[in-house]
C-alpha cells in the first residue's frame, strides 16, 4: 500500500463557469495539500486551458473524455493531441455517464484508452456495475469484463489509474461501504495478478468513486486496496481539500 502514491481526482463534470471555477482553483492553490497525494482536476473541455493556466503546477488537470484518433471530421470531439497542446496530461475514460448516458461501448472505450496512452496521456479508466447488476450478483463478472477490455489496450500500466465506480453510488448519496469498496478492489487486484502480472497488480492504483465526501473519505482511505478517489460533486466544494488530505 505504501508504495502506491495516493491519487485523488476531481471530476467537475458539466459544472461551473470561470467565476465559480476560479474561486475553487484559488481555494486549492492556497490550501495545505498532503504532499504524498497526487491531485488531478477533471475540467470541462472548454475550460482545460483556463484550469491548467490557473491551477498551481502541483495539481494536475484531466480532460473528461477524448476521441480515439488524433484529428479529422469528428464534429464536437477532442483528441489527446489537443489535450496535450493545452498543457494537460490526463484524461478520464469510460466514466459511467459516457457508457450509460452516451452509449459508449467497451470496445470504443478500449480504443480511446489505447490512443490516449499512445499519445502520452495518463488515463483514469473507469469501471463499475449498475444497481441491478449488483443485486443480481454479477458485480465481479461486469467489472472483470470492463477491465479486460481496458487491459487489452494497455502497454504501459504506469500511465493508468483504475477507478472503480459503482454506478448506483454516483451522485445518489449512496456510498459503497468501506468493506464493499475494499472487497471489489481486492478482487480486481487478484484479477490483475492472474490476468496481467503480479507487478501490475502490486503497483496499479485502484481508486474508488461514488459519493465520496469529507465525512466518509478517511474510513475509505484506510482500506488496504483503496489507493485514492475519483470525486464528483464534492470536488466542486471546499471539502475537496479534506478528501485530498484523507491520508494526511
- Catalytic site residues? 95, 165
Which one, of 116, 113, 111, 117, lies nearest residue 80 by Cα? 116
Residue 101 DSSP symbol: T
* Residues 28 and 40 sit within 8 Å (Cβ to Cβ): no
What distance in Å separates the CA atoms of residue 113 and residue 237, rounded to the nearest whole number?
29
What distance in Å separates the CA atoms of residue 208 and residue 184, rounded to the nearest whole number?
10
Please report which helix (H) or strand (E) contains residue 158, including its range: none
* Residues 236 and 12 sit within 8 Å (Cβ to Cβ): yes
Amino acid at each position: 500500500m505504501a508504495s502506491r502514491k495516493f491519487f485523488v481526482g476531481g471530476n467537475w463534470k458539466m459544472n461551473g463557469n470561470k467565476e465559480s471555477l476560479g474561486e475553487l482553483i484559488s481555494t486549492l492553490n492556497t490550501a495545505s495539500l498532503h504532499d504524498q497525494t497526487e491531485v488531478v482536476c477533471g475540467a470541462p473541455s472548454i475550460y482545460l486551458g483556463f484550469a491548467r493556466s490557473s491551477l498551481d503546477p502541483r495539481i494536475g488537470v484531466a480532460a473528461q473524455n477524448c476521441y480515439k484518433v488524433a484529428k479529422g471530421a469528428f464534429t464536437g470531439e477532442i483528441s489527446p493531441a489537443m489535450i496535450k497542446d493545452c498543457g494537460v496530461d490526463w484524461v478520464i475514460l469510460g466514466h459511467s455517464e459516457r457508457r450509460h448516458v452516451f452509449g459508449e461501448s467497451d470496445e470504443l472505450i478500449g480504443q480511446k484508452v489505447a490512443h490516449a496512452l499512445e499519445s502520452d496521456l495518463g488515463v483514469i479508466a473507469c469501471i463499475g456495475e449498475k444497481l441491478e447488476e449488483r443485486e443480481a450478483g454479477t458485480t465481479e463478472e461486469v467489472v472483470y469484463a470492463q477491465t479486460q477490455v481496458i487491459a487489452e489496450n494497455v502497454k504501459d500500466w504506469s500511465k493508468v489509474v483504475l477507478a472503480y465506480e459503482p454506478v448506483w453510488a454516483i451522485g445518489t448519496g449512496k456510498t459503497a461501504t468501506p468493506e464493499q469498496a475494499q472487497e471489489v478492489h481486492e478482487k480486481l487486484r487478484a484479477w490483475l495478478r492472474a490476468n496481467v502480472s503480479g507487478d501490475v497488480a502490486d503497483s496499479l492504483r485502484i481508486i474508488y468513486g461514488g459519493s465520496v465526501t469529507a465525512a466518509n473519505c478517511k474510513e475509505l482511505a484506510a482500506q488496504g486496496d483503496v489507493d485514492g478517489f475519483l470525486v464528483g460533486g464534492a470536488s466542486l466544494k471546499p471539502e475537496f481539500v479534506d478528501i485530498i488530505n484523507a491520508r494526511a
